[in-house]
C-alpha cells in the first residue's frame, strides 16, 4: 500500500514513521510512505502556501493553487489514489473507516495548517476526516494517528492478526482488561480465573468484563450492541 502525506512541514514526519508498527510495515515492504512538500508546488520566491482571507477575519487560509497542483500531480502518477483532507469539520475517523482505508491501494492525506484550506479545493478530496471534536494546529498529527490506525490493519504488518479481531471497536464492545507479570503487584492480585488454564472460563470471564466496561464507560456502544443468547444469559447469571 502507498500512503502519501502532503504537508508544509515535512520534517514533522522524520521520526514517528520509522518507529513501531508503521516502521515495521515499511521494513516488511507492506507499506510505502511518501512525504510530499506542498512548497514544491509553489511558483513564487517565498514559496507561499497561504494568504489573507477574503472578507477579513483572523489567521491565514491555504492557497488553492499549490493544493490543486500537488493533487493533480499525484493523480497523474497514480490514478488509483484516494484523497483525504484532514479537517475538524470532517467525518469522524473511526475503526470502520480505518478498515476501509486499509483496503485501498493508495491513500493520500492532506495536512492543513493556519485556518485551513480555501473552500474551492474540497472537490479534490474523496472525504474530509476529523480525528475528534477538538482543533489541532495542523493536520500532521491527525494524519499520523490515521496512518498508524490504518497501517496496523494491513495484512502482514502486525505479527498477530488475531489481536486485531479482539480489540476495542472491532466488535461493538470495548476490550477486556489485561494483566501480565507479576501475579501480585503492590498487593493487587491478577484474577484467579486467568491463572486457571480453563480457556472456556477465561473466555466467558473476558466477555463479561468487556460487557461490564462497555456498559460503564460507553453506554452508547452498549445500547447499540447486539448480544448473543449466551451473553444475555451470562449477564443475567452474574446480574451485570
Q: Does 115 bind ligand SAH (CB under 6 A)?
A: yes
User: Which residue sits closest to ligand SAH, CB atoms considered?
Assistant: 112
Rounded to the nearest 5 percent, the helix, strand and coil shares of the chain are 40, 15, 40
Neighbours of 46 (CB within 10 A): 7
DSSP SS3 for 97:
helix
**Residue from 130, 149, 152, 231 in contact with ligand SAH (CB under 6 A):** 130
Q: Name the segment binding ligand SAH (CB under 6 A); options: 41-49, 71-79, 80-88, 187-195.
A: 80-88
For the chain, what is the largest distance between any 2 Cα atoms, rounded to a whole number of angstroms? Answer: 73
Beta carbon nearer to ligand SAH, 63 or 210? 63
Q: Name the segment binding ligand SAH (CB under 6 A); options: 47-55, 132-140, 158-166, 176-184.
A: 132-140
Q: Does 132 bind ligand SAH (CB under 6 A)?
A: yes
What is the rounded CA–CA span in Å between residue 98 and residue 147?
A: 9
Q: Does 64 bind ligand SAH (CB under 6 A)?
A: no
DSSP label at 62? E
Q: Name the segment binding ligand SAH (CB under 6 A); options: 21-29, 41-49, 84-92, 156-164.
A: 84-92
Q: Cβ distance 40 to 18 under 8 Å?
A: no
Pair type for strands 106-110 and 2-7: parallel
Q: Does 7 bind ligand SAH (CB under 6 A)?
A: no
**Residue from 15, 45, 76, 89 in contact with ligand SAH (CB under 6 A):** 89
DSSP β-bridge partners for residue 91: 129
DSSP β-bridge partners for residue 86: 129
Pair type for strands 127-130 and 184-185: unpaired
Q: Does 134 bind ligand SAH (CB under 6 A)?
A: yes
Q: Does 199 bind ligand SAH (CB under 6 A)?
A: no
Residues that bind ligand SAH (CB under 6 A): 86-89, 111-113, 115-116, 130-132, 134-136, 138-139, 142
Amino acid at each position: 500500500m502507498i500512503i502519501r502525506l502532503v504537508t508544509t512541514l515535512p520534517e514533522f514526519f522524520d521520526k514517528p514513521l520509522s518507529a513501531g508498527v508503521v516502521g515495521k510495515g515499511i521494513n516488511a515492504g507492506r507499506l510505502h510512505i511518501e512525504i510530499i512538500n506542498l512548497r514544491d508546488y509553489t511558483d513564487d520566491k517565498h514559496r507561499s502556501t497561504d494568504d489573507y482571507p477574503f472578507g477579513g477575519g483572523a489567521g491565514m487560509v491555504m492557497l488553492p493553487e499549490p493544493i490543486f497542483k500537488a493533487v493533480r500531480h499525484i493523480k497523474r502518477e497514480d490514478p488509483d489514489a484516494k484523497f483525504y483532507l484532514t479537517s475538524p469539520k470532517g467525518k469522524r475517523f473511526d475503526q470502520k473507516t480505518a478498515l476501509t482505508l486499509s483496503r485501498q491501494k493508495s491513500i493520500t492525506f492532506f495536512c492543513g495548517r493556519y485556518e485551513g484550506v480555501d473552500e474551492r479545493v474540497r472537490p479534490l478530496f474523496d472525504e474530509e476526516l476529523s480525528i475528534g471534536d477538538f482543533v489541532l494546529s495542523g493536520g500532521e498529527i491527525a494524519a499520523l494517528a490515521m496512518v498508524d490506525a490504518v497501517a496496523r490493519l494491513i495484512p502482514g504488518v502486525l505479527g498477530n492478526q488475531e489481536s486485531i479481531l479482539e480489540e476495542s471497536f472491532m466488535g461493538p464492545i470495548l476490550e477486556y482488561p489485561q494483566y501480565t507479570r507479576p501475579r501480585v503487584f503492590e498487593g493487587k492480585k491478577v484474577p484467579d480465573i486467568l491463572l486457571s488454564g480453563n480457556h472456556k472460563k477465561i473466555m466467558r470471564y473476558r466477555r463479561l468484563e468487556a460487557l461490564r466496561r462497555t456498559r460503564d464507560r460507553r453506554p452508547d456502544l452498549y445500547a447499540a450492541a447486539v448480544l448473543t443468547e449466551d451473553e444475555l444469559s451470562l449477564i443475567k447469571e452474574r446480574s451485570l
